[in-house]
Structure 1
Amino acid sequence: MSHAAAPSTGDSAPGPAPGPVPGPCGPRPPAVPWRRILWSAMLGNAVEWYDNALYGILAVVIAQQFFAGGSTTALISTYLGLILSYAVRPIGGTLMGRVGDIKGRKYVLTLTIALMSIGTVAIGLLPTYSAIGVAAPALLALCRVVQGVGASGEYTAAADFLLEHGDKRGRNYLSGWCVGSTSIGPLLASAIAYVMILAVPEHDFNAWGWRVLFLLAAPLSLVTLYIRRHVTETPEFRQVMEQAKAETVKQSPFREAVRGYWRDMLRAIGLGAGQRVGSFVIQSYFVTALVQNGFGEDQALLAAILTYVVGAPAAIWGGRMADRHGGRRLLVAGYSVFVLFTVPTFLAIESGSVVLAFVAVVVFTVINNIVGGPLTTAYVMSFPAHVRGTASALNYNVGTTLLGGTAPLLAAWLHGLTGTDVSFGWYMTFFCLLSALVAGFALPKSVDEARKLPATA
């Protein structure tokens, strides 16, 4: 399958054109393996979100295996492990972003996949609390930190890599593919977990079955590492390096990003606030909420699988629409619908109706992913190439840590405090409204520059 590098027809992944293709820095040679570039960006996101989704899906099992105390206390402790992996992200993202700005996008992508795979696979090998006591949660926390440092630079580095290789006329569409790839890992995690829960007796699953799910990250990581070792550096980064070398300028991407672009980073964090919370509700809390409201684990996992099935097409379609009609319009419309739909989603989950609950979580996911394309473009393209890795990683990880990473824990706490998940629904509604206002009045111009594709797009 081969398509033009600038996506102009259909929803298929772009591929190499027969002749030189205009890129961000001029013509790109036809020898660039575009399909490999696309997969190198997408598969790393799959590994990152495989672990995140798996940790959320198996939260109840992990709580039983690694923590003492009552079910609520152990579950909250488990979600603290989720927060810990995000607490290190602003620091890890800054370091990884700086590496990307100095050594290249390809180098940092190789490093991130190695760290993520080590952290994920190691969880599958850890002894439990009953075997080694308090050392078990301590080792679990260490694994989450290693995975978090690797993941801190993964998403934005992959987006940098993809967008700098691609044509600016289709940036939101390419970003949609990047967002869509975050559904691959959770889809695999949910599908495999669903099959194992049905096929393996509960006692055996709790004893050893859950470990298999973490160990399966190894082959996926190895394939991604192989592909990433055989791709070329982006032309835009090569141009930055040549210019820095010619001018003998010492690179200080972190200092320049913080001093010169802190307003843009704050704006990007506000723009993504609602979507960050929504993403972590989908990937880390919906299963728990469904189980707590009387649905079986098999039904909860089936609902999760449906959200990941619709997630990728929704993100790609949203990117196309943003390129055709403008990122501002799509973001304002998407967040406005989110403001109206968030609380009803949690009411549907608490209704006891399988149909209402399933429809609600699927529609919630579609809205969340539709805005992901132009949002990712804003995360990355709001900054010049020489500080892009640092600035994009910093704003993405600060927002993800403060808003996304704390969402499941806050949802569990509010449910315990109020007895209903609707209270968390109002919390998320506030951030969706904030993001809608930022999109309407302070959207970075770079998101709307790549618009007005031909009518056939």
Structure 2
Amino acid sequence: MSQESKTVLHRAIGASAIGNAVEWFDYGVYAYLATYIAASLFPGNGEGSGVVYALLGFAVSFLIRPIGGMIWGPLGDRIGRKRVLATTIILMAGSTLCVGLIPSYEVIGIAAPIMLYALRMVQGLSAGGEYGGAATFMAEYAPDRKRGFYGSFLEVGTMAGFTLGNLVALLLVNVLGDSAMHSWGWRIPFLIAAPLGLIGMYLRSRVEDTPVFREVDRKHETEEAVTGVYRDLVTKYMRPVLTLLGLVVALNVVNYSLLSYTPTYLGSALGMAESDALLVPLIGQLAMLLTLPFLGALSDRVGRRPMWLFSCAALMIAVIPVYKLIGTSLVGAIVGFAILGLLYAPQLATISATFPAMFPTIVRFAGVAIGYNVATSLFGGTAPVINQTLIEATGDDLIPAYYMLGACAVGLVAAYFLIETKGMSLRGTHVPGTPEALEEQRGLGELDEPGGDVGAPVTAK
């Protein structure tokens, strides 16, 4: 690969990751500051059901995400990944900024939670195209033999967004104090989204669409191919759709139970102080952030399927005893969170290499966006409110552990049916890794651009 191609590749990675970071920065600060949001924008001063209503606001954005996926996914396969991603990052950053500007419940009454839910729906609409598009963009630019390594940087963006949100929340809680945080301090992180969104927009404007998409587009196949995308996903690509749904159930129940819900869980269920509850996930997230590129590179050697099988099985074995450890002390919580985070990291590190490779170019954006967001809306964004509601109803603090165990069982079954695609090209109009795709790729020749990985193998290994 030439130096110019490497520069283009690195620019594409940065453009993908920054948008993901903005998205998850928002989700992170919302989850970490849920008690303050409840006190400001809902009746009841943030006590009792107020926290549940705030977490329901977290879930609302996820319920709208499948609609976003249905809109942005086929559009991204028709007009290109770049144009859609430029739109979604502006919608995401703008709506996040507006959340920080909502007047309190004391000032405008019931209009406050209504405005919050409306803005969360806009965020969900944009997120429905953001993640599937960014993963597709990243995967199609990455060299075939290093797709796991380069794709992991999209999840580095995820963890960086979460971690930045955690750091900002922790800093504000310790510097401003409880009174100022309830009054106005909780709004500050949401205002930060505006400059982050502008940076992401600038980066994305300087990158061409992916070589893989442009190759299909030049042949005028895209418009005709995506016309019946919904029918095709149900008829031609049911196996990858169902496999993706199962993997995302495991991925996002663990993700949102662990990364988003932990501060609320530690505070409301275990009675931990606010600053300590924010400190616990911060250390584990930093550990995950450092390991993601190494795990992505490992998947280029051993494959994506073994990584998913290991992660799901290990979490099923460890989650209940580790949650018991989390309930013992601050140190136990830090160690326990780090253990679960590192066992979960093999899934997180390989998303961008795994999910886009399950679909052909002509429906890749749509397949990932729709499949990912349907499962996420049902099992991901709802995880915090489901966990909180069940804990309050049953008094059992191990509810999140049981939920994760069941989700990972589903993911384990799905991973068994996953087609291995390490080192294989994403070019063409067939599902990568299938005999039809391998035969088609033999006739396509080399694609001497980022994403083409000249000399990449086109035969199954």
Which TM-score applies when normalising by structure 2? Answer: 0.88
Deviation string, structure 1 residues 79-99 (Cα, Å, up to 9, x no partner):
111111001111111111111
1:26-65 matches, within 5 Å, as 30=5, 33-65=8-40
Amino acid paired to 2:370: L
Give yes or no for the alignment of 1:223 onto 2:207: no
Q: Which residue does the alignment assign to 1:261?
A: 237
8 Å CA contact retained: 1:92, 1:149 = yes
8 Å CA contact retained: 1:268, 1:378 = no
Q: Which residue does the alignment assign to 1:90?
A: 66
**Which whole-Å CA distance do the structure 1 matches of 2:254 and 2:223 have between them?**
45
Calculate percent identity across the aligned residue pairs: 32
Give yes or no for the alignment of 1:408 onto 2:408: no
1:122-133 matches, within 5 Å, as 122-133=98-109
Q: Which residue does the alignment assign to 1:10?
A: none
Amino acid paired to 1:62: I
**Which whole-Å CA distance do the structure 2 matches of 1:53 and 1:154 have between them?**
16
Amino acid paired to 1:254: Y
8 Å CA contact retained: 1:265, 1:395 = yes
**Which whole-Å CA distance do the structure 1 matches of 2:376 and 2:349 have between them?**
16
Which TM-score applies when normalising by structure 1? Answer: 0.89
Where structure 1 has 5 or more consecutive residues not aligned to the other structure, the ranges are 1-16, 20-28
State the secondary structure of the residue aligned to 1:71: coil
Q: Which shifted more, 270-279 or 211-220?
A: 270-279
Shift of 1:393: 0.4
Shift of 1:392: 0.6
Deviation string, structure 1 residues 400-432 (Cα, Å, up to 9, x no partner):
111111110111011102222212311210111
Q: Which residue does the alignment assign to 2:438?
A: none
Shift of 1:246: 9.9
State the secondary structure of the residue aligned to 1:244: coil
1:307-456 matches, within 5 Å, as 307-351=284-328, 353-439=329-415, 441-446=416-421, 449=424
Cα 1:236–1:207, aligned 2, differ >3 Å: closer, same or farther?
same
Q: Which residue does the alignment assign to 1:271?
A: 247
Amino acid paired to 1:88: I
Q: Which residue does the alignment assign to 2:2?
A: 18
8 Å CA contact retained: 2:145, 2:422 = no
**Which whole-Å CA distance do the structure 1 matches of 2:362 and 2:391 have between them?**
45
Amino acid paired to 2:304: G
Shift of 1:151: 1.0
Q: Which shifted more, 111-120 or 255-264?
A: 255-264
8 Å CA contact retained: 1:98, 1:389 = yes
Where structure 2 has 5 or more consecutive residues not aligned to the other structure, the ranges are 426-432, 434-455, 457-461
Deviation string, structure 1 residues 33-71 (Cα, Å, up to 9, x no partner):
222111101000000000101110011011111111472
Cα 1:317–1:35, aligned 2, differ >3 Å: closer, same or farther?
same
1:61-76 matches, within 5 Å, as 61-69=36-44, 71-76=47-52
**Which whole-Å CA distance do the structure 2 matches of 1:272 and 1:31 have between them?**
31
1:137-152 matches, within 5 Å, as 137-152=113-128
Amino acid paired to 1:307: G
Q: Which residue does the alignment assign to 1:298?
A: 275
Shift of 1:249: 6.6
Shift of 1:229: 0.7
8 Å CA contact retained: 2:146, 2:423 = no
Shift of 1:240: 1.4
Shift of 1:266: 1.2
**Which whole-Å CA distance do the structure 2 matches of 1:286 and 1:214 have between them?**
20
**Which whole-Å CA distance do the structure 2 matches of 1:84 and 1:32 have between them?**
39
Q: Which residue does the alignment assign to 2:440?
A: none
State the secondary structure of the residue aligned to 1:414: helix
**Which whole-Å CA distance do the structure 2 matches of 1:304 and 1:250 have between them?**
41
8 Å CA contact retained: 2:225, 2:362 = no
8 Å CA contact retained: 1:271, 1:375 = no
Cα 1:317–1:421, aligned 2, differ >3 Å: closer, same or farther?
farther
**Which whole-Å CA distance do the structure 2 matches of 1:246 and 1:339 have between them?**
42
**Which whole-Å CA distance do the structure 1 matches of 2:422 and 2:255 have between them?**
21
8 Å CA contact retained: 1:190, 1:305 = yes
Amino acid paired to 1:97: G
User: Could you say what the CA RMSD is over the residues aligned between the two structures, in angstroms?
Assistant: 2.1
Shift of 1:247: 9.5
State the secondary structure of the residue aligned to 2:236: helix
Q: Which shifted more, 366-375 or 95-104?
A: 366-375
**Which whole-Å CA distance do the structure 2 matches of 1:109 and 1:68 have between them?**
37
Shift of 1:244: 1.9
State the secondary structure of the residue aligned to 2:345: helix
